[in-house]
Structure 1
Amino acid sequence: MSTELDPLSTSRSTLSSRLRHRRARSGNRPRRELVAFFASALLILLAVSAGTVWASERIARTNALAEAQRSAQNLTRLVVAPVLSDALAGVPGRWEELGRDVANRTSDGSVTKIVVWNAEGRILFASDESLIGRVLDPSPELRAAIGGETVADIDEHPETSPAGPAEAVLEVYTPLTVRGEPLAVEAYFSYDSIDRQAALLRGEIIPVALGALVLLQVVQIPIATSLARRVRRQETERAELMQRSVEASDRERRAIAADVHDGPVQDLAGVSYALSALRSSVPGERQPTVDRLVSTVRHAVQSLRRLMIDIYPPDLSGPGLGTAISDAADPLRAQGIEVILDAAPLPEMTSDAAAALYRTAKEALANVAKHAQATHVWITLEETELHEAPAVRLEIADDGVGFPASGTDRRQEGHLGLSLVHDRVADLEGTVTLSARLGGGAVLTAVVPPGHEGS
């Protein structure tokens, strides 16, 4: 079978089907796009909310660490340093005074604990007297503070906490030098301060960020709705314009077919009858010539009638489809090819489905006539099922040379026949298969749903 394009085989029924599908989709497309717009806006709001919460936590942590560092440095400079030097020198009463000063500072709850370390990890002083004198392995933060750096961090397992459930605290190590000895003052701050600052920041940031987005979406809603309506209206107008073009093309095709039928076909038929009537009046040696002229004229009439069917196919639904396909096989019969047609009763079909089957049969039969070198052709037209739904099956088999080894896709050479067959049937949600016939030859099978009028 060939893939050669018949220029008159482009199906207007396929275009009509596409227009109906486009109109159906055009009504739903703006609605889907609006839903997608609102859904994306909601997702953006949720993402911004989550990002704002995360950012507020980060900002609160940074601010709390900075504030804790300033508080710890002031505490070390103003409270601990003036007394600690005398206390370490053994001045009587200075340790007690340091304890009272620290107790006053921790009484408001902003600072929960104060510890003074030396470089070996020994606790020289602590607001919790039970810790005084303990020696612990110096932590990296303590070493950094002994080296002269103020270090702040959130610690979930403070080394000076009593045994029991861990509780996160904000700790700051501040360097302090007393009598040439490097020390570090560790101050513990409540982690609740970070929560309070985060809540405060969320209360200030979220309304501003989300409020601006909500206001933007509220402004965009009428704009998006208006654009969606405009798109829907333009899609409807475009579909109606294309439908009018198809209808105008149908009217022109019908007018051309009528002109061909009423003009050249009738004239040639008259010529055929006139030649037949004149046959007996010409000499015997001229009668074979008259017979050839009559045959040529009748063949021209048949060709014009097939052209009329191509230009404007008749109603192919019901038994008319089998008859039309049988007529399309006349060129094969004229070549001496035996055509066997088995047409069973068919379900009610739309004009699009019937036209697609007719075009498929015509393309396949044309390819058999040109390339198959067959002696027999079998045409089967019957009811079947496709996806568990009623359908119509068309099968055209021949005993010719079969499909070429190079395949049937010859679009690059400009031959689109079988490609158009496939596209035409696929537009109706049908299937087309090409296979080799058992015993030699080729088989084309097309299965098309009958469709429903108005769908």
Structure 2
Amino acid sequence: MNRRAAGVRVIRLGARRELTLLVGLGLAVMLAIGLGAAFASRRVAQGQALDDSERMTVRLATLVITPALPGYLDGDPVQVDELRRAIANRMSDGYLTEVTVWSAAGEVLFSNRAEDVGHVADPVPPEVADAVAGRTTSAFEDDPPEADAAGAAPAGQAGTGPSRYVEVYAPLRVAGHPPMAFEAYYDYQRVEDVADRLLRQTLPLVLGPLLVLQAIQIPVAVSLARRLRRHENERARLLERALSGSDAERVRFAADLHDGPIQDLAGIGYALGAVAPSVDPKHAPLMARVQEAVQRSVQDLRTLMTDLYPPDLRDGNLVQALGVLAEEVRAEGLAVELQLADLPGLGEDQGAALYRVVRESLANVVKHAHATAVTVSLAPVTPGAADPRGGRVRLVVADDGVGADPTRLDRRAEGHLGLRLLADRVEDLGGRLVVVTGPGRGTSVEVELPLTT
């Protein structure tokens, strides 16, 4: 009957875990913002690179290519040499890696690579057609220039250029010639450099205030956690005091019952037994009923005294006391299954805590669960990596009732402190109390704690 239900409720969550969660979330937010800043700086750098490359390409076509291209196309050696020298100067810093002049038919009319001149691209690149039509386009390109693809690369130069480019196609208009396209390739590394520079500039501005906020927030959170811990410790001491006071009151009530009403009623029972033979026969049935009532009262008071102050709960006595509780629940019409193992070495405090958990859980089953059966299992925990000596005990009280809303288990504001007090007591003894429940799924109260303090 020990099954996982819809809702799981652990009675207490440590302040240390809350503090760790707070710091972890802060660091995660900073990491997310840092990644966002890196992504944004790269996008800005890419947009800026495309704009700069387009402007540079248009100026290069207007100021360098257009004046010298007519003489180059006419074969004027002076113009040819001047154009090649001007392009070489522009490419000397390494940013501009290749230039090409295309005809509308896809023929390479000029290139800084002389071996590409005269090659025809089939089909004509769509960017060339756009530039011939008067549109400037730009993009990032991982493939080599189309002019290179038209012919074989010179020996010894394959794979020596950049692995990524900024590619720009611009319109080229020369008087007396049909529209042409001017293509320029730029090394993408400069885009990476701009992105890195932007990131170095923006990241301190973005993360600096967050780091300051974390530096202020963490000491405050640590201070609050310490205060909360002190409050929890003080509350635990108060609860322990309340439990100790409750035990003392139970002892006093049990002693008063034993020395007072129980002794008096027992004496009355003996006296009634002594005078019963001399009673008029017509009053004999009444006398018998009075004797039975006195005996039942004595028995009920003895049961109440045992409930108020149970016997020694160490070792096998705990099993016997739980059996008495089970009989009381069976008297209410519920089926109770006991799976109880002897626990040698069980401390008195541990036995009392386990007894209280079972008593409170069974009382809740009788009052609220609308159950037909309940199982109480008590056994030592199998030794494992977390507890190699096996010095722990596990208690489970599970019913097949209607269950409950897990969020309604801890109702201190309404005065329902039973399980909460027991959870605090179990934790004070180094254990853990968990309630597993859900609407229509029954309820399971599970406890693990050391055999001794």
**Same fold, judged at TM 0.5 (above):** yes
The alpha carbon displacement at 1:74 in A equals 0.8
**Selected match of 1:267 from 257, 261, 264:** 264
Quick one: distance in 1 between partners of 2:39 and 2:381?
A: 55
Q: CA RMSD in A?
A: 4.5
Q: 1:209 to 1:78 in 2, by over 3 A?
A: same
**Selected match of 2:401 from 409, 420, 443:** 409
The alpha carbon displacement at 1:327 in A equals 7.0
The alpha carbon displacement at 1:245 in A equals 3.2
Corresponding residue of 2:89: 104
Corresponding residue of 2:291: 294
| Aligned: 1:352 with 2:352 | yes
Quick one: distance in 1 between partners of 2:357 and 2:239?
A: 24
The alpha carbon displacement at 1:322 in A equals 6.4
**Selected match of 2:170 from 174, 177, 186:** 174
Quick one: distance in 2 between partners of 1:228 and 1:393?
A: 31
Alignment of structure 1 residues 338-349 onto 2, 5 Å: 347-349=344-346
Quick one: distance in 1 between partners of 2:231 and 2:257?
A: 39
Quick one: distance in 1 between partners of 2:45 and 2:361?
A: 77
Q: 1:351 to 1:53 in 2, by over 3 A?
A: same
| Aligned: 1:309 with 2:306 | yes
Show structure 2 runs of 5+ residues with no match: 1-8, 332-339, 367-371, 384-389, 405-417, 435-444
Answer whether contact 2:343 2:380 (CA < 8 A) is retained: no
The alpha carbon displacement at 1:177 in A equals 2.2
Residues 2-37 of structure 1, C-alpha deviations (whole Å, 9 max, x = no match): xxxxxxxxxxxxxxxx9xx97xx66xx222233333
Quick one: distance in 1 between partners of 2:44 and 2:120?
A: 36
Residues 128-172 of structure 1, C-alpha deviations (whole Å, 9 max, x = no match): 222222211321222221121111122222223353227322221
Matched letter for residue 52 of structure 2: E
Deviates more, 1:194-203 or 1:114-123: 194-203
**Selected match of 2:139 from 146, 153, 162:** 153
Answer whether contact 1:321 1:358 (CA < 8 A) is retained: no
Answer whether contact 2:145 2:185 (CA < 8 A) is retained: no
Answer whether contact 2:100 2:110 (CA < 8 A) is retained: yes
Alignment of structure 1 residues 13-24 onto 2, 5 Å: none
Deviates more, 1:32-41 or 1:262-271: 32-41
Matched letter for residue 152 of structure 1: S
| Aligned: 1:387 with 2:382 | yes
Corresponding residue of 1:41: 26
Q: 1:50 to 1:392 in 2, by over 3 A?
A: closer
Answer whether contact 1:72 1:172 (CA < 8 A) is retained: yes
Quick one: distance in 2 between partners of 1:391 and 1:108?
A: 76
Alignment of structure 1 residues 87-102 onto 2, 5 Å: 87-88=72-73, 93-102=78-87
**Selected match of 1:251 from 242, 248, 253:** 248
Answer whether contact 1:116 1:184 (CA < 8 A) is retained: yes
The alpha carbon displacement at 1:185 in A equals 0.9
Answer whether contact 2:345 2:452 (CA < 8 A) is retained: no
Quick one: distance in 1 between partners of 2:235 and 2:101?
A: 83
Residues 306-353 of structure 1, C-alpha deviations (whole Å, 9 max, x = no match): 122223323233464566578779999x9xxxxxxxx99762433236
Quick one: distance in 2 between partners of 1:452 and 1:133?
A: 93
Show structure 1 runs of 5+ residues with no match: 1-17, 335-342, 367-371, 373-380, 395-406, 413-419, 432-445
Matched letter for residue 225 of structure 1: V
Corresponding residue of 2:58: 73
Matched letter for residue 355 of structure 2: A
Corresponding residue of 1:191: 188
Quick one: distance in 2 between partners of 1:181 and 1:382?
A: 96
Q: 1:316 to 1:190 in 2, by over 3 A?
A: closer
**Selected match of 2:125 from 121, 136, 139:** 139
- The alignment's TM-score, normalised by the length of structure 1, stands at 0.67
**Sequence identity of aligned pairs in percent?**
37
